[in-house]
Amino acid sequence: MSATHRPWRSVLYIPGSKERALEKARGLDVDAIIFDLEDAVAPGEKANARETLAAALRVGGYGSRAQLVRVNGMDTPWGGEDLETVMDAGPQAILLPKVGAATDVASIAARLDAHPGCAETRIWAMMETTRGVFNAAEIAQAPRMGGFVIGTNDLAAELGCETGGDRMPLMMALQTCLAAARMGGIPCVDGVFNAFKDEDGLRAECEQGRALGMDGKTLIHPAQVAICNEVFSPSQAQVDTARRQIEAFEAAEAQGQGVAVLDGKIVENLHVATARKVLARAGGAS
């Protein structure tokens, strides 16, 4: 399933060094997993983590969940080895931290091109620096680009702003990255909500992300999954309308017409494209 035609409601970070967490992730009700070799792994555990994760990826068992591997930056002592080890496991996607320009992505794409087991591997970008925000449009169109993950914690630290409440200090960055992702035809996933026991705060931030147009949210704890899935899922009424729009348009096309009428309203290509996105967020397909 392509990245633009699948749900990205809940995207959970899992430490690559924790075998128990890697096993538990096989049964979680999440749309995607970020297997983390960066922030979630202590320096002394980096080598063990990459080997542990590569073994888990070879075993598989993660079903339809999208799988992204966040490696350490290529400017660190661990990034190059992370990439080499993980490439041998044939990952679905590599998530690069602190992407600042399209050239950061292109250099990794070239290494994937040279590896026979990575023909289908995509590259995702952590958008968590001011440089990355201002270069978001070119990054969205870089080789093998699969999507954006907003790193709100690192971005706020670089800006020196607060992240609580309505996140207004981050709004320019959030909307810039989202607009660039839409221009590039790729998903954009919102940053984490740190207070994993604050369900009301999580719900409010999920609702804000949904209102902005985010495809989903990154999560730091399994306890956050249910709320995230609920908020980023369309209602049953929206799903029913989407299916009826698609059916009406396809019936009109079969009769040689370019538009349909449903419940007294015009249905054209734009509405059908939106309807398919609604079904994708619901976990359906058409």
In this predicted structure, what is the pLDDT of residue 273? 87
Q: The pTM is what?
A: 0.90
Residue 265's DSSP bridge partners are 262
**Look-up of token digits 């899992």:** 14
Domains of the chain by range and CATH? 3-232 (3.20.20.60), 236-281 (no CATH)
* Both structure tokens of 126: 């952590």
Give the tens place of pLDDT for each residue, 154-213.
999 999 998 777 999 999 999 999 999 999 999 999 999 999 899 999 999 999 999 999
Candidate from 129-133, 157-161, 278-282 with smallest mean pLDDT: 278-282
First to last CA, the chain: 12
| Bridge pairing between strands 260-262 and 66-70 | unpaired
Cα separation of 279 and 236, whole Å? 10
In this predicted structure, what is the pLDDT of residue 286? 33
Nearest to 97 by CA among 61, 131, 124: 124
The separation between CA 34 and the C-alpha centre of its own chain, rounded to angstroms, equals 9
Q: How many residues does the chain have?
A: 286
Residue 34 burial by Cβ neighbours in a 10 Å radius (0-12, 13-18, 19+): buried
* Both structure tokens of 4: 């633009």
DSSP 90: -
Cα separation of 79 and 82, whole Å? 5
In this predicted structure, what is the pLDDT of residue 274? 87
